[in-house]
Structure 1
Amino acid sequence: MTDEAYAYDASQIEVLEGWEAIRRRPGMYIGSTDERGLHQMVFEVAERAVNEILAGRATSLGITLTPDGGVRVADDGPGIPVENAAAADDPTLEALLTQIHAGAARNGPHTVSLSLCGVGPCVTNALSSRLTAEVRREGVRWVQEYARGVAITPPVAEGPATGSGTTFTFRPDVDIFGTAECSFAVLEEHLRELAFRNRGLDISLTDERPPGGPRSVRHRFPGGGISPAAGASAPGQGAGRGA
């Protein structure tokens, strides 16, 4: 071969960032593009809410599988900062959803990692055909829409808010995943184990897809797992679980 055949310079290097990198190589961020990867998308969003609860900034997390194939993840924390003037400790909403490794600062040592690569909601946003973010913060309800990782609207104030919290509703992109149906049983098992290992977590899972009507479970283990306050392991003392 000639020297030209081995030529390699900067013009042959392709640099991908943010949503482009995630959509080009999704398996690097969520493990696979099958059912396992779908569930990981849920956990990437849920991690932030779980750590808000363990830090005492929120009390509960709710995950809902919707009839149209979407997933809704909601918490009752203070709400993600929306404006650029937000406190330095927390990324703004758009940064969290578009910048890799823009996760919120963790408060104290008692945190949970559900993310494979520490990317969080950004990877879920990039691999969703649509994502709606709703933030209830300081009396205002903010809404922002995304399509395949790109913001299609700015955050819009939609009126007064009752309470506070953050809700992400997303639909996995069927162009990437072979299936867009999350398994209620798989998610339920994982969330039950998570709640048992971390005393104080209050997690509910609802499936609105069954023809016979919704089904729901709630996991909370007051006497089991690790206490965020004490940081000590304790044997299970019974499970709080409702259907």
Structure 2
Amino acid sequence: MSDAANPYDTGHSQVLEGWEAVRKRPGMYIGSTSQRGLHQMVFDIVGRAVNEVLAGRASTVDVTLTPDGGVRVADDGPGVPLEATKDTGGPTLETLLTHMHPGAEPGGRHAVATSLFGVGPRVTNALSSRLTAEVRRKGVHRVQKYARGITLTPPTSAGPATRSGTTITFWPDTDIFETAEFSFAVLAERLQELAFLNRRLDISLTDERPRPGPGRHGTGSRTGARDFVAFLDTQAGAPVHPDIIGFQQEDPRIAGTLEVALR
């Protein structure tokens, strides 16, 4: 086939950046537009909050499925800074939620990877019909709103804050996803795995959606491998012995800690 019959030049190239790229090809960032991708949006927000705990800046993470179809993720850390960053010149919070960058996010022994490609909260923001970020920091409660990856308002004071932390609430864009129905069971299993793997993590999942019967609530543990062994025993029947033996050992060869539990 000749070039004349099927010309291809720079005019056929399309450059997509930031939120536009995510909304055009969401599967590249969250895997799919099915329920699996819907849950990945939650994990992208949860990952940031969990890392606050692992870094020693927070102690709890609370995930809530709201009655109007949204998801709220809150931590009790110091709150995302609102000062300008040297990389983008914009507020740290806004950079976290809108600035796309190539490659993985900074990691280390005190970081957990829940994002598929290291883009994290930015993808969730781009694929949400609306997102609200609340920061309680230095005695002030500030709120900033977004829609489909675009900043709608600057951080606005909502009064004094008696505690610190960051809360991000988002509502998936139904124009993109095949379903907007989150599975409590799937989310609970993944959050429980995070709790087993990170002994300092205290994480909860609450379902406030209207449905017959009481709302469901699940809480992760802080005892890591010990709780994992106990959990496996509940799946296998009565334990052979009531006691669980567990220990951990710091090892410089792996720049981390080895944790062992057995029954």
Aligned to 2:218: 217
Stretch moving more, 172-181 or 214-223: 214-223
Unpaired runs of 5+ residues, structure 1, are 239-243
CA–CA separation in structure 1 for the residues paired with 2:143 and 2:165: 12
Cα 1:10–1:72 change in 2 (3 A) is same
- Distance change >3 Å, CA 223–CA 185, structure 1 → 2: closer
Change (3 A) 1:121 1:223: closer
* 1:56-103, Cα deviation, whole Å (9 max, x unpaired): 011010100011110000001111111316899x97011111112398
> What's the CA shift for 1:212?
2.5
> Aligned letter for 2:151?
A
Residue 142 of structure 1: aligned partner: 142
- How far, CA to CA, are the matches of 1:76 and 1:5 in structure 2? 62
1:89-128 paired onto structure 2 within 5 Å: 92-101=92-101, 105-106=106-107, 108-128=108-128
Supply the AA of the counterpart residue of 1:38: L
* Cα offsets for 1:190-211 (capped at 9, x unmatched): 1111110111111000000134
Pair 1:232 & 2:257 matched: yes
> Which moves more between the two structures, 63-72 or 205-214?
205-214
Mark the CA change 1:227 to 1:59 in structure 2 (over 3 Å): closer, same or farther: farther
Q: Deviations over 1:112-154 (max 9, x none)?
A: 1000000010000000001000011111111011111111111
Query: How many residues matched?
Result: 236
Counterpart in 2 of 1:241?
none
Kept in 2: contact 1:47–1:113 (CA 8 A): yes
> Structure 2 unaligned runs (5+)?
227-246
Question: What letter matches 2:122 in structure 1?
Answer: C
Which residue of 1 is the match for residue 152 of structure 2? 152
Once the two structures are superposed, the pairs formed by residues 21-60 of structure 1 within 5 Å of their partners are 21-60=21-60
Q: What is the alpha-carbon distance in structure 2 between the residues aligned to residue 227 and residue 8 of structure 1? A: 60
Shift of 1:221: 3.3
TM-score norm. by structure 1 comes to 0.88
Q: Which amino acid aligns with 2:119?
A: V
Identity fraction in percent:
62
Whether the 8 Å contact between 2:248 and 2:260 is mirrored in structure 1 is no
Q: Given that residues 105 and 119 in structure 2 are in contact (C-alpha distance below 8 angstroms), is that contact kept between their aligned partners in structure 1? A: no
Amino acid at match of 2:260: P
Residue identity opposite 1:221 in structure 2: R
Query: Rg bigger for which structure?
Result: 2
Letter in 1 for 2:114: L
Question: What is the TM-score normalised by the length of structure 2?
Answer: 0.82
Which letter does structure 1 place at the counterpart of 2:218?
A: V
Cα deviation 1:154-208 (Å, max 9, x = unaligned): 1111111121111010011111111101100001111111110111111000000
1:7, distance to aligned residue in structure 2 (A): 2.9
Contact 1:200 1:228 in 2 (8 A): no
Checking the alignment, whether the CA contact within 8 Å between 1:201 and 1:220 is kept in structure 2 is yes
Cα distance in 1 for residues equivalent to 2:257 and 2:125: 35
Partners in 2 of 1:46 and 1:146 — Cα distance?
A: 18
Contact 2:249 / 2:259 at 8 angstroms: preserved in 1?
A: no
Superposed, 1:144-183 pairs within 5 Å as 144-183=144-183
